[in-house]
Chains A and B, each alone.
Chain A
Amino acid sequence: MKNRKNVLALLLVGCMLAATACGDGGNKSTGTPSTESSAVAENSSEVQSSESEESEAVVAELKSLVNKEYGTDYISLYEQFGEDVTIADVTEDPETGFAYIERDGVQYLLGLDFLSMAMVYNTTVPEGGQWADADAVYANWWKLYIQRWNYLLPEIPLYANEYYDMYNTQIGGVAENPTNPYWGPADALIDWTSSKADNSIIIGNTTDLSGKFRYSNFGGSNPGAADLDIEEMTRGLALVEKTKEGGYTWNSTVVKSHNETENEDGSKTFNIEIFDDLKFSDGSAVTAKNYLVRTMVFSTPVAAQAAGKDHMAGMSLLGFEAFAAYNGTAESGANKELTGLRMTDDYNFSITISPDYLPYFYDVTYAALAADYVPMWLGEADIVDDGNGCYLTDAFYAKEGDKYVMADHILASALNTDQTYPYSGAYVVVSYDDADKSAILEANPNFKGNYEGTVPSIQKVVYRKIVSNTQMEDFKAGNVDVIAGITGGSETDEAITLADGSNGKYAYIHYSRAGYGKLGFRADYGPAQFTEVRQAIAYCMDRAKFAKDFTGGYGGVTDGPYYTGSWMYQAAIDQGMLLDAYATSVDSAIEVLEEGGWIYDKDGNAYTEGVRYKKIPAAEASENDINYKAKDGAYVTTKVGDDYYMPLVLNWYGTTDNPFTDQLITGLMEDANIAAAGMVIQNTIGDFAPMLDELYQAAVYGYYSGTPMYSIFNFATGFTSAVYDYSYNLTIDPSMYDDYSIYYIKDQADAYWLQ
């Protein structure tokens, strides 16, 4: 009996052990470390655990997009699945940091395009999940995007400067309300004080003022930095304002109440009530019309004629296209009324965003309207709402021949630099001297306050042009009170020495740059199209030393497109972001190159020394691959049998008169590790515009020859906007690729194969 019991016990233990060994343990799959190969799903045997009854998903294979047609062979993964995906659907590989979703038993690796789109369009908070709000969801997507970016390295960050802002200590409050990449001196001075006799501050900019203070982007694609500063100081009372920390917030000084409604058609309405005590600088009242006027005017053909460019200011609004088509006469498809803007009374209005632009993480920016004086843009015309949407009265569209009468008025207003029309911001422009490009501003006595309710203490602001070479002398002479963005070893040393030895007369603050100098790639051309090549370059370079040498010790290196002071970076760190620092190692470079197939010589034999070659099967070789050659023609793609062999030679275009280029010659091109890895880099030094044409591979500035040549470029990038949105910038859709791509990279993971 006793023996039978023992045998039964042993059998029971054996069964339990067998059940444990055969089951999946109830753990979710977190994906495979390999991204290049497909895996076959294993059917689970009958197991005790109910969770292990599911079979493992197939991992979708990554394939080359060369010689394949978008729409026929593949579409973007986001186009296929993006709309329905939430962050809760995503699993993350804890070792690689790659993100996956599973659909119909197939696991898809999420590429840069998917992640950049989801980051801003898929921020709905899943119920019952670990995400408290949309910010947490965004930060999660952001982390996954940065991790994928860090692996693919579409560009290599080389140095991120430490910026020093120096100021005259007669200006108080700077240490308590410091500047940062999102909050420059023109923004921060509202919190500062001045103990100078005339309660003034002199700030400068190396960019010229041009007098476009009312609308700094008028007629252009990008505003002048100096003009933008003046506009932001003089145009205020915005419904939504950017904050010191680089975010956006409803302005409780202006907005009495607001709510958002998600409409059935997918549009979203912001219902806003403003306070009735808001005033312009001349004491006149600010009402609802003042918030709508600029958006409406710059959505019309009248303003397009005035500016020589269609600003499409109301592009995201419901009914915009029909309104923008209206030219004063009733035509098919045109509508006099802009249905997305409604006015209930003088202090109540609504903004409805088109479903084409929703959902969007930064949708609050659609409501970031500031107050403009109505006659400044409309003259004698007015804004009316009869119940179907706001419209501009007929006088606005009056014509003389083909010319809109109001076009000249709009042009004159855009270039207005005096107090013909009142200002809504903290300051008003008292005078502008076009001769020496300087402006004098005075505090607006009727300004109610910014989003924190702060009104300026400094009464007078002098904004002038400064010369970077002599700005320190100007500072010492008292001709400027704040110098922002001092960078570089000797300049920073000089500034610190001056401040430290000034007995408290001068002081400084410092912060990391939101951006970096970089090696940019045309990551769809030549050897640079392969991830392992870009990684190998990163491994070959001593980036830390490069950064230290270039910045004179005042800077460092980053591993992705982020600013370490941004809120999402902090959140991603808390979530355990995984980034590869690509520590200098020629062995690591060789390893990734060998794994990537750079193991041949030009004849297709095993690589021994010199320049490496990679075999590209004919079916996967594009015309550019076949015709690829070094700048001097010494190395070309060879053909052996049916296969092509591409040389590991990269052509680099560096800009002239640039210390960054100079340092790259030794730090990159002549680096011993580059040759040791079997790589050659050849360079051309030239001007910036031709470099851009080579990067775009188009004659935007008229320099491109028509034959692609270069795949490495050195320039810089910045992330000083509070809106971190790169949607469409990583697209693999050929119809948008040339115009929107910022890295010219097509992540294979972003392809959903139709066949």
Chain B
Amino acid sequence: MGKYIFKRIIYMIFMVLILSFIMYLIYNLIPNNRAYTDARAEIQTLKQGLTEEEKETRFQELYLTYQRRYGTDTDNMLIRYLRWMGLYPKYGGEYDGLLQGNFGYSYEARDSVINVVKAPMLNTIFINIFATIFALGIAIPMGIVCAVKRGSKTDQAVQIITIIGYSLPVFLFCILFIWLFCSTLGIFPPSGMKTPGSNYTGWKWFVDTMYYYALPLITMTFCSLGSMTRYTRASMVEALSMDCIKTARAKGLREKTVIYSHAFRNALIPVVTLVIGWFLGIFSGSVVIESMFGLNGMGKLMISSLRTADFDVIILLQLFYVAISLIGNLIVDIAYGFIDPRIRVSK
């Protein structure tokens, strides 16, 4: 197992390098020239006094200065990539890339990418953990019940509700829930993350935060119930039709034991993939939810960075998500082995 994990980690490193290079190439194909934009902005502060020739000379000087600062003073994409990674020196001879801890600079926020990402990431993780727990906590039992009572009125009702939740766009539910819970019932606030002007700490902070997150959580949970419920139901239905389940029933085992110890364990394998995927998804935000409820999260950061061509932020986040996906695949593969002893990594 240890050898297997080590091998996978080596593969992952290679994958990250290859993918990072591809991503870097792709983002540099997008028309965007930060050095040109910055030089142009600076030359415009010189409102008078220069002839056309002098202005052009000064502009070229500024352009070159900025290109050297950003490491883009060459057309060789490999060198530019290596500079970005910190494996090749910049014009001044210094190594200043990812490996040296320079994760980039956000031109929109005028701050390092790490500082820009910190707060949204924490907010996203916080809300996603609860959304995932609530969704799984409702969807899996509901899926099991629907599978066990397949064809019943309960099953049909849940099917209809979940298909609606699955099919309709998220923003529609955002508007609906805001109208219901804020405008009509006045229970929850429509936007924000805490009571304006408050500086709560500890338990009070947690309660206040959960009060403001309640509506987005309800929306996120409702919208994600559909897929997990139907998936669990399908797996359980298949598992319940297996011969071993008939045998278990024939042996006289209690129905609960049959369902949870035998059927569910068999149904768990495909469900585990989804669950682990969901937990890995706690790092990614929802643009719609965050926009509608005024949350400062990763979805909003991503979309605003794309709109403003803040590519340092985007490329770092993409790299991060690539790494998370690779790690997630490894975790899933290892988890399979624990869930199903028949699946083991060969020595």
Contact = CB atoms under 8 A, between A and B. Distances in A.
A309 B39 CA distance: 10
Contact of A700 (B40, B48, B49): B40
Contacts of B50: 735
A435 B47 contact: no
Query: Which of B41, B123, B292 has the most CB atoms of chain A within a 10 A radius of its CB?
Result: B41
Nearest to B30: A702
A51 to B, nearest CB: 41
A440 interface: yes
A466 B296 contact: no
Given A434-B119, A462-B197, A309 B42 contact: yes
Given A415-B111, A739-B40, A464 B192 contact: yes
B191 interface: yes
Interface stretch (B73-81, B159-167, B178-186): B178-186
Interface stretch (A108-116, A468-476, A482-490, A525-533): A468-476
Contacts of B37: 700-701
Nearest to A461: B197
A312 B191 contact: no
A210 interface: yes
Of B44, B186, B194, B197, which is in contact with the most chain A CB atoms at under 10 Å from its CB? B197
A470 B294 contact: yes
Interface residues of B, number: 49
A437 B296 contact: yes
A734 B110 CA distance: 33
Interface in A168-219: 198, 200, 202, 208, 210, 212, 218-219
B191 A436 contact: no
A189 to B, nearest CB: 14
B38 interface: yes
B154 interface: no
B264 interface: no
B197 A436 contact: no
A46 interface: no
Nearest to A735: B52
Contacts of A431: 199
Interface string A718-729: 000000000010
A202 B292 contact: no
B52 A440 contact: no
Contact of A219 (B55, B110, B182, B192): B110
Contacts of B234: none
A interface SS class: loop
A480 interface: yes
Nearest to A704: B31
Contacts of A736: 47, 55
Contacts of A480: 196
Contacts of B47: 728, 736, 740
B156 to A, nearest CB: 35
Given A356-B49, A477-B186, A466 B178 contact: no
A365 B111 CA distance: 30
A437 B47 CA distance: 36
A434 B117 CA distance: 11
Given A702-B32, A728-B47, A435 B292 contact: no
Contacts of A728: 47-48
Interface in A405-433: 415, 431, 433
B45 interface: yes
A402 to B, nearest CB: 7
Given A309-B42, A701-B309, A735 B36 contact: no
B41 A221 contact: yes
Contacts of B178: 470, 473
Nearest to B40: A700
B177 to A, nearest CB: 11
B103 interface: no
A470 B44 contact: no
A479 B45 contact: no
Contact of A701 (B32, B55, B199): B32
B322 to A, nearest CB: 25
Contacts of B42: 309-310
B196 A462 contact: yes
A434 B293 CA distance: 17
B196 A477 contact: no
Interface string B10-40: 0000000000000000000011110011101
A714 interface: no
B31 A473 contact: no
A312 B45 CA distance: 8
Contact of A479 (B38, B189, B292, B295): B189
Contacts of B189: 474, 477, 479
A467 interface: yes
Contacts of B123: 435-436
Contact of A466 (B44, B92, B294): B294
B122 interface: yes
B191 A470 contact: yes
B339 interface: no
B294 A467 contact: yes
Nearest to B188: A477
B318 interface: no
B45 A315 contact: yes
A168 to B, nearest CB: 13
Nearest to A441: B197
Interface string B39-71: 011111101111110010000000000000000
Contacts of A639: none
A202 B45 contact: no
Contacts of B44: 739-740
A437 B191 CA distance: 13
A480 B189 CA distance: 11
B157 interface: no
Given A474-B191, A689-B309, A465 B294 contact: yes
Nearest to A210: B109
Contact of A702 (B33, B118, B194): B33
B122 A464 contact: no
Contact of A474 (B190, B194, B291, B295): B190
B326 interface: no
Interface in A665-724: 689, 698-703
Interface in B101-116: 105, 109-111
A734 B55 CA distance: 11
Contacts of B32: 701-702
Interface in B192-209: 192-194, 196-197, 199
B233 to A, nearest CB: 35
Given A212-B110, A310-B42, A440-B199, A702 B31 contact: yes
A467 B52 contact: no
Given A440-B197, A440-B199, A462-B196, A735 B51 contact: yes
A266 B197 CA distance: 52
Given A728-B47, A735-B51, A701 B31 contact: yes
Nearest to B171: A469
Interface in A722-755: 728, 734-736, 739-740
A350 to B, nearest CB: 24
A466 B109 contact: no
A473 B110 contact: no
B51 A477 contact: no
Contact of B292 (A436, A467, A689): A467
A315 B122 CA distance: 42
A506 B209 CA distance: 28
A212 B115 CA distance: 14
Contact of A460 (B31, B43, B197): B197
A26 interface: no
9 contacts: A210-B110, A212-B110, A435-B122, A436-B194, A440-B197, A467-B191, A470-B293, A470-B294, A703-B31
Given A356-B49, A438-B196, A702-B33, 6 more contacts: A436-B193, A466-B191, A473-B182, A703-B31, A736-B47, A739-B55
10 closest A-B pairs by CB: A702-B31, A735-B52, A436-B193, A462-B197, A473-B190, A470-B190, A467-B294, A219-B110, A702-B32, A462-B196
